[in-house]
Amino acid sequence: MNLRPAIFFDRDGVVNVSPPRELRYLRRWEEFHFIEGMIEVLAEVKAKGYPMILITNQQGVGKGLMSLDALQEVHRAMQAALGDNGASFDGIYAATGLTGEDVRRKPSPRMLEEAAREHGIDLSRSWMIGDHDNDMRAGAAAGTGTIRVQGLKEISVASDFRVADVPALRRLLLELL
């Protein structure tokens, strides 16, 4: 099989605005807000022919704060909204278990490796985009390049690139892809 490079995206803080502290997890579509400009970025990546894979830790399910159905409903609605803009994800991988129990959770590279098997992806030519140290760790462990979207999270892990906002991410991707 001819393996292709792909772009992996973290969800909260990259695709959508991270849930506020008091909410902690997005349980309903009404609470999901795309980060301004991100739908356009996703549409551009897709138009260039790269598979786009969402890689998200959602232990709110494992904690019993939301059901798996509710998580999947949010993702269905997200995909519908993205699909209207030619920007839907080709795969969605969510680790719903608890820290210390769920071996698929980032910083583990497992979800990226699953996606690589299921979508015929060459990890060494792929990129992981995230706003957390664990996104960078997961990408590096999987062998992808790493792009850090600077948010409010403390940075203690190196990445190949760091961007301050969505316009900067867009410019970088136009260069790289």
Where along the sequence are the contacts to Mg ion (CB under 5 A)?
10, 12-13, 131-132
Considering beta carbons, is residue 75 or 132 the nearer one to Mg ion?
132
Considering beta carbons, is residue 19 or 91 the nearer one to Mg ion?
19
Considering beta carbons, is residue 2 or 9 the nearer one to Mg ion?
9
- Measured from the CB of residue 136, what is the shortest distance to Mg ion in angstroms? 11
Residues 139, 127 contacting (CB under 8 angstroms) = yes
Considering beta carbons, is residue 56 or 88 the nearer one to Mg ion?
56
- Measured from the CB of residue 129, what is the shortest distance to Mg ion in angstroms? 10
Residue owning tokens 């409903």: 73
- Measured from the CB of residue 102, what is the shortest distance to Mg ion in angstroms? 16
Neighbours of 107 (CB within 10 A): 16
Peptide bond into 5 cis (omega under 30): no
Residue owning tokens 């140290």: 133
- Measured from the CB of residue 32, what is the shortest distance to Mg ion in angstroms? 14
Q: What is the CA radius of gyration of the chain?
A: 15
Report the catalytic residues.
Answer: 10, 12
Residue owning tokens 């993205």: 82
Number of residue whose CB is nearest Mg ion? 13
Whole-Å CA distances, 4 to 51, 66, 77, 161:
8, 35, 27, 21
